[in-house]
Structures are given as C-alpha cells and as structure tokens.
Amino acid sequence: MTPQVVDRATWLQERAALLVREKAHTRAGDAIAAARRRLPMVEVDPTVELIGANGPTPLHDIFEGRDQLLVCKHMWHRGQGFAGQCRGCTATVWNFQDATYLEGRGVTFAVWCQGPYAEFAPYREFMGYRVPWYSVDGIDVPGISDGWITTYLRVGDRIFQTYETDGRGCEVMMPALQLLDLTVYGRQEEWEDSPEGWPQDETQSWFVRDGRPIPQWTRLMSGSAEVGADCG
C-alpha cells in the first residue's frame, strides 16, 4: 500500500494544513518544557555510592564538577551474554553516545546499569561506549532507584532530583524513532494509527536481527570481541 498520488498544488495544500498542526505541537512541547523547569525538586541522599570504573564513587563525584546530572538507566540480564541484553536499552543508549553538547551547558551524562559493574564492564567496552557507567545493583534509594531517565541538581553539598520519566518518555534518547515518524510507513509498530494495509510488525523485530540487538552487529563487524566470564 502507498499514499494517494496527487498533483503538487494539492500536495502543498495538504502539507500546509499539516504544518499548522505541527507548529501547534511544537508550541505545546515548549509549554510543557517550561512547566517542567518549574517543577519543585526533592532532596536525595548525597552519601550514596555507586560502583564505577574507579570503584565506589560518591554521588557528588558522578557530577564531575558540574551542577547538573542526567542519567539513563540500563537493564541488565545476568548471565545472558552480550546478545541477551535488553534490546530497548541497547537502542536507547546506542542512539546517544556523545554528551559534548550537554556538557557545554553544565550537564554531566551517565548510565546507571542494574547489573554488577564487573559483569557489565566488558559489555560497555564491547559496545564502544565512552560515557561513564555506574552500577546501581542492590541499591534501593528513593530518587536513585526510580525512573529510567532522571535529572539532578547539585547545590553545594546537597543533591536534588528535579525530574524523571520512564516508558515512552525514554524516546527522547532515540532520535531514530522521531526520524521514522517522518517517513510514510512510520515506525511500523502495531499500536500506530496507520492506514489499513500499511506494514506493521507486532514483534518489534526491528530492534533485533539474528538474535542480537541490531547495534551489536556493527561492533562485531568492526572487530570488537566478546569477552568476560559471565557476559560472553
């Protein structure tokens, strides 16, 4: 199935009508962001330590001297090898690997993984990730264990949680989805409101190919090796 074919004048008229809705959507998003900036904040325990590349790391140190911290949580399936790790988390983190522009605005970016550091460290190396990863394995602290994308503000020695989101809120980390939304067939997922006959995949298999999250194949083709007693 394909869209209806029309002359250019008709297409431009239809495009202009949609543009009005797109601009309204953009303005609505700006208004929501303005409200988000006005949310109150809640203090979190600054004595919490996460395990990172340098061992136990105080929460203050994860800020790396900046005033703001944005973290993305990554699930971890113990003993499942590299190929068995979460396809959604892989897509999320793979789509955002460089925090240069965040850092330019005083925001540090890090990944908080639910597995033990010693187990996921080889996976981080295999995937070629350069942003810091920390283990939240066994940590159940309000404001630390909640949310999948969470933001914090450091004020002197005090640390505050300012925002969190999960579910489809994590799509902000996945520009590939927004780009697919611009294409005629969209994401091709079963929940989308598409014309009858449009391709849709109920299994969301586009996240995985031949038993692996798709980004892993780029690493294998580049020569990265799977290592680690519990991961490979």
**Per-domain boundaries in the chain:** 42-172+206-221
Look at residue 225 in the predicted model and tell me its pLDDT. 82
The pLDDT, as a whole number, for residue 204 is 62
Span 42-172+206-221 CATH architecture: 3-Layer(aba) Sandwich (3.40)
Is 0.85 topped by the overall pTM? yes
* Statement: residue 228 has pLDDT above 60: no
Partners of 43 in the beta sheet? Answer: 160
229 pLDDT tier (thresholds 50, 70, 90)? very low
Report which of residues 199 and 205 the model is more confident about.
Answer: 199
Question: Which three-class secondary structure state does DSSP give residue 229?
Answer: coil
- pLDDT value of position 230: 46
Q: Reply yes or no on whether the pLDDT at 232 is more than 60.
A: no
3-class SS of residue 91:
helix
Q: How far apart are CA 28 and CA 36, in angstroms?
A: 12
- Of 163, 166, 116, 164, the residue nearest 136 (C-alpha): 116
Average pLDDT in the chain:
93
pLDDT digits (tens, 9 = 90+) for 10-34: 999 999 999 999 999 999 999 999 9
Q: Please give the average per-residue pLDDT across 45-72, as a whole number.
A: 96
